[in-house]
Structure 1
Amino acid sequence: MSESRPAGADRPYRVMVVDDSAIIRGLITRWLSQEADLEVVASAANGQAAVAMVKQADPEVLVLDIEMPEMDGLTALPKLLAARPGLRVVMASTLTRRNAEISLKALELGASDYLAKPESTRSADAAIAFRLELIAKIRALAHGLRTRSAAAPAPRLATPAVQTSRLSPREPVKLRAAGTARPRVLLIGSSTGGPQALAGVLGGLKKVRPGLPILIAQHMPATFTAILAEHLGRASGMPSAEGKDGDPVLADHIYVAPGDHHMQIVDTNGERRIRLTRDPPENFCRPSVEPLFRTASALYGAGCLALMLTGMGSDGLKASRTLVESGGTLIAQDEATSVVWGMPGAVAQAGLCAQVLPLAEIAPTLLRLIGRGTP
């Protein structure tokens, strides 16, 4: 199960596990201890105990359960972040609507990521998937924290900002000219850190509607995506929901790819509509950014305006290349304001972006490109 040690992991990443189930704590501790680059420095059965020991344990990443006695995860979260500044917290919970709501609230309060626990660890496939995803998230967040610590101090941001660059300097990003056609659709890909970033960007479009349909592929399980859509509707003031198979693609409406489904745009008798599929995952993801960007490029061509926000991995890279080669325009979130600069970093370093911007500058830039902002 072990993977090669990432660049910069010269000593094990320090992890703390907080869960009221002794079985789950033991299982996660055993999994992580089998990885050469991970070390479990402490564990606790509730939030109160975690707060008492976090400063001395000094973890880089903390896996935090939601439902616990004495002090639950949501109550403990701000206390943990205050006691250990810079701590990266992964919320872990069973997949219920209530826990999905709490997880999204935790992201607003400073958690870095979330993870849905399998309903039963007796299912070998579910347990393996949970294990692999947990380890990948811990590595990405801890590596990014060390990279930021090794770099020059960055300004304080409203949401946690983590860089995931190598410790060696990067090559300068090469930009390309933006497309010249008027945008007709806005496409967004995001993953780790995406809910916070999406709310920030779409909230910036609230006063001046873009006049375009907005379609989002965010890596999230079912249940979470429905609640995310509701949150984005409140942030933007626009109708927002999970995309449904056959939905017409309407301007100033937000469509979020539902968990465990790919979302595409198709032409049905001259009308643009949404198609959902359960095709195999792409880049280990479903929903994936690839089908959304790929099918939109085929229909809208140079009318595509795309945005790649914070996220692990490189999902969307291949379709982004097709999009810009078709005359579309791609923008990426910059490294300093990304929770993980994987997806936006991949397209930026491939030279596909017209601009690479801090989160706060993205909404005004989108409006200018659409022709609804101040020149």
Structure 2
Amino acid sequence: MPTSAAAAPAEALRVLVVDDSAVVRTLTSRWIEAEPDLALAGLCRNGREAVEQAGRLRPDVILLDVEMPDMDGITALPLLLKAAPDAMVLMASALTRRNAEMSIRALALGASDVIAKPGQGVDQAAYRQDLLTKVRVLGDHVRRRTRRGSTTSLVRAAVIAASTTPQPAARARPFSAAPVRALALGASTGGPQALASLLSGLSPALGSIPVLVTQHMPATFTAALAEHLGLASRRPCREAADGEPLAPGVIYVAPGGRHLVVARRGAQACARLDDGPPENYCKPAVDPMFRSAASVYGAGLLAVVLTGMGSDGACGVRAVAAAGGSIIAQDEASSVVWGMPGAAVATGSCSAVLPLAAIAPKITRLVAGERA
């Protein structure tokens, strides 16, 4: 039977843990209960128990295992989003190709983020830190949304944001007068959904330029992401291979565990996979992709910073601006987490801050020659 935690401070973020492993439930509950700002809303052994209990337990964040008996995470997800519409769902997945594909599907169905479970190369201490960080960021988004008096879903919030006229960013830089030669996209939490939406709306405009994508994800997951983005965009999309030329009309995804950087081989730009240390605690990271692409494409680079926690990409957009390129940041209202785009905006390097639905039309016009 699901268990509920004892009463916790009113402001503590409530976390519902759904996992068929008793070991994982015990370990995760200990971590949560050890944090004064977090509270264990309950423990459930499968999706069916979670769906039955979610309304009563009122979680802010649901940690949902992908693969469980009776009712798995994919089946339970839409039911949980209906039972607890204000909660954010964090999918927990083993590092297998099947689970990675299921996790990408879960993100498309409304989950907010995914985390790789410990084991199979995932360090337990690193997992604990990553888990607690993601829970806090997602829970803070729930609380801020509630304080604004909103009970709408993220999808509806994005629609509302897209229907409003975007306001120009403070100290906005003019867009580059040079033709767009390459598009570089960086994202983290909420990124798979945002990338799929953006690329599906951009497909007709991508025939003349290569697209580089860095999404914070572990190995195995990025291969599944590339397949998902290829289907969404109807364009060739794959994990980048070391040394391959960057061809127009192709989408290249940074593989988990390697930085994707751009190098020049004669007159040809090519992909290089860098096994250097993490940047901003991430590998792959957005900053090395932006920096290297700016050095090769110069004023012809268009960089876009999408939803994500942390500040990865902020140093990179400075390099893009210094090289004469252009930067667009996703706005706060349509972002799951306005960490990365907010940090990019704070640099003063952006030419526009737009809701997600307005970014594809803007890029399309820039690729077609708009310079105003």
TM over 0.5: yes
Q: Tell me whether 1:292 sits opposite 2:289 in the alignment.
A: yes
| Alpha-carbon distance in structure 1 between the residues aligned to 2:139 and 2:329 | 22
Aligned to 2:319: 322
CA drift of 1:126 comes to 0.4
- 1:249-288 to 2 correspondences below 5 Å: 249-288=246-285
Match 1:362 to one of 350, 359, 363: 359
Aligned to 2:69: 69
- 1:161-180 to 2 correspondences below 5 Å: 173-180=170-177
CA drift of 1:215 comes to 0.4
Aligned to 2:38: 38
Q: Tell me whether 1:236 sits opposite 2:195 in the alignment.
A: no
| Alpha-carbon distance in structure 2 between the residues aligned to 1:28 and 1:268 | 48
CA drift of 1:189 comes to 0.5
Greater helix content: 2
Match 2:331 to one of 306, 329, 334: 334
Q: Give the counterpart letter for 1:53 in structure 2.
A: Q
SS of the residue 1:89 aligns to: strand
Gaps of 5+ in 1: 1-8, 162-171
| Alpha-carbon distance in structure 1 between the residues aligned to 2:209 and 2:237 | 13
TM-aligned CA distance change 1:215 to 1:81, over 3 Å = same
| Alpha-carbon distance in structure 2 between the residues aligned to 1:209 and 1:68 | 40
Question: Structure 1, residues 51-110: CA drift from partner, whole Å, max 9, x if none?
Answer: 111111100000001111211111111111111112100010111111011111111111
Aligned to 2:4: none
SS of the residue 2:123 aligns to: helix
Q: Is the 8 A contact 2:205 2:367 kept in 1?
A: no
Q: Tell me whether 1:186 sits opposite 2:183 in the alignment.
A: yes
CA drift of 1:154 comes to 8.2
When the two structures are superposed, what TM-score results if normalisation uses the length of structure 2?
A: 0.91
Identity score, percent = 49
Q: Is the 8 A contact 1:110 1:159 kept in 2?
A: no
Q: Please give the root-mean-square deviation of Cα atoms over the aligned residues, in Å.
A: 2.0
| Alpha-carbon distance in structure 1 between the residues aligned to 2:235 and 2:216 | 21
TM-aligned CA distance change 1:347 to 1:19, over 3 Å = same
Aligned to 2:213: 216
Q: Is the 8 A contact 2:157 2:333 kept in 1?
A: no
Question: Structure 1, residues 140-179: CA drift from partner, whole Å, max 9, x if none?
Answer: 0010111111125487553776xxxxxxxxxx74322112
Aligned to 2:19: 19
When the two structures are superposed, what TM-score results if normalisation uses the length of structure 1?
A: 0.90
Aligned to 1:343: 340
TM-aligned CA distance change 1:174 to 1:141, over 3 Å = farther
SS of the residue 1:23 aligns to: helix
Aligned to 1:114: 114
Question: Structure 1, residues 206-237: CA drift from partner, whole Å, max 9, x if none?
Answer: 23435110001110111111111111111111
Aligned to 1:101: 101
| Alpha-carbon distance in structure 1 between the residues aligned to 2:230 and 2:251 | 8
Q: Tell me whether 1:305 sits opposite 2:330 in the alignment.
A: no
* More moved, 304-313 vs 69-78: 69-78
Aligned to 2:49: 49
The aligned length equals 354
Q: Is the 8 A contact 1:333 1:356 kept in 2?
A: yes
TM-aligned CA distance change 1:347 to 1:91, over 3 Å = same
* More moved, 348-357 vs 12-21: 348-357
Gaps of 5+ in 2: 1-8, 159-168
| Alpha-carbon distance in structure 2 between the residues aligned to 1:210 and 1:331 | 20
TM-aligned CA distance change 1:278 to 1:108, over 3 Å = same
